[in-house]
């Protein structure tokens, strides 16, 4: 199955030209890929968490030795 990942990163929540353009592109991709799953990540509405020392340190620490603060945070839910 084809997956289309649309990432919206415009600072404006309404009417941003980049969002209008990517919406149009996603629509055309869907037309040429019927049945494709579309996953939308809106970084203005659901920003990614910042990496801090604890999380970066966790990348180099076995999972069973990580503290609660260093465990990776859950990614935002897929939308659309």
Domain ranges for the chain, please list them. 3-65
Distances (CA, A) of 66 to 17, 54, 70: 42, 9, 6
Token pair for 80: 């659309």
**pLDDT given for residue 77 in this prediction:** 55
Predicted TM-score of the model (pTM): 0.65
**pLDDT given for residue 43 in this prediction:** 92
**pLDDT given for residue 59 in this prediction:** 83
CA 61 to CA 43: how far, in whole Å?
28
Distances (CA, A) of 67 to 2, 46, 54, 56, 76: 37, 25, 9, 12, 21
DSSP letter string, 26-58: HHHHHHHSTT-EEEEEETTTSPPPPP-HHHHHH
pLDDT average per 10 residues of sequence, the chain (80 residues): 94 89 96 96 88 81 80 55
């Amino acid at each position: 199955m084809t997956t289309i990942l649309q990432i919206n990163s415009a600072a404006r929540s309404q009417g941003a030209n980049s969002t209008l353009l990517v919406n149009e592109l996603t629509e055309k991709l869907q037309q040429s890929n019927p049945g494709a799953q579309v996953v939308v990540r809106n970084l203005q509405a659901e920003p990614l968490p910042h990496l801090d020392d604890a999380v970066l340190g966790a990348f180099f620490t076995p999972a069973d030795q990580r503290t609660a603060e260093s465990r990776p945070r859950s990614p935002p839910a897929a939308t659309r």
